[in-house]
């Protein structure tokens, strides 16, 4: 249950979740197997936390991978551990708020992960319509 809760903290939550199982392995099975458990947690946590999860969050939520990582640092600095748990929802709220106004939409686009297609000028659209006829 503790590992489940800690894994909500992007990037470093899996490392914090590894401490109790490694300590338990030291007590029950010895130091050699505890090193194996620690290496397993480190490899799986690093791959999931730094490669797979940010990409999935970026695609699913429309946030870039860099913004996901920077929001963890920012909200953790502002609100501490609670900010780390809430970093993605808080950043999504900020993005939605910025996207609601025409003046701040450019900031919401900077937070996003997808490329923005520029609309074509009206003059080229009219030209293409005339040409098709």
Tell me how many domains the chain contains: 1
More confident residue, 5 or 79: 79
What pLDDT digit, counting tens, does each position of 108-123 carry? 888 876 655 555 555 5
User: Domain range for residue 112?
Assistant: 2-119
Establish if 51 belongs to a structural domain: yes
Stated pTM of the model: 0.52
CB 109, CB 95: distance < 8 Å: no
What pLDDT digit, counting tens, does each position of 17-69 carry? 888 999 999 999 999 999 999 999 888 877 877 778 767 766 677 777 788 88
* Rounded CA separation 30/129 (Å): 77
If one counts every other C-beta atom within 10 angstroms of the C-beta of residue 17, the result is 19
Establish if 132 belongs to a structural domain: no
Establish if 44 belongs to a structural domain: yes
What DSSP state is assigned to residue 112? Answer: B
């Amino acid at each position: 249950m503790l590992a489940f809760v800690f894994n909500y903290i992007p990037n470093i939550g899996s490392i914090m979740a590894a401490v109790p199982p490694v300590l338990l392995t030291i007590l029950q099975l010895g130091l050699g197997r505890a090193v194996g458990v620690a290496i397993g947690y480190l490899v799986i946590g690093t791959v999931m936390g730094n490669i797979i999860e940010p990409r999935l969050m970026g695609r699913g939520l429309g946030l870039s991978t860099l913004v996901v990582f920077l929001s963890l640092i920012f909200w953790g600095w502002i609100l501490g551990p609670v900010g780390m748990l809430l970093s993605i929802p808080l950043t999504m709220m900020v993005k939605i708020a910025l996207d609601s106004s025409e003046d701040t939409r450019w900031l919401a686009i900077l937070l996003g992960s997808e490329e923005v297609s520029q609309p074509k000028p009206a003059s080229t659209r009219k030209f293409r319509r005339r040409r098709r006829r």
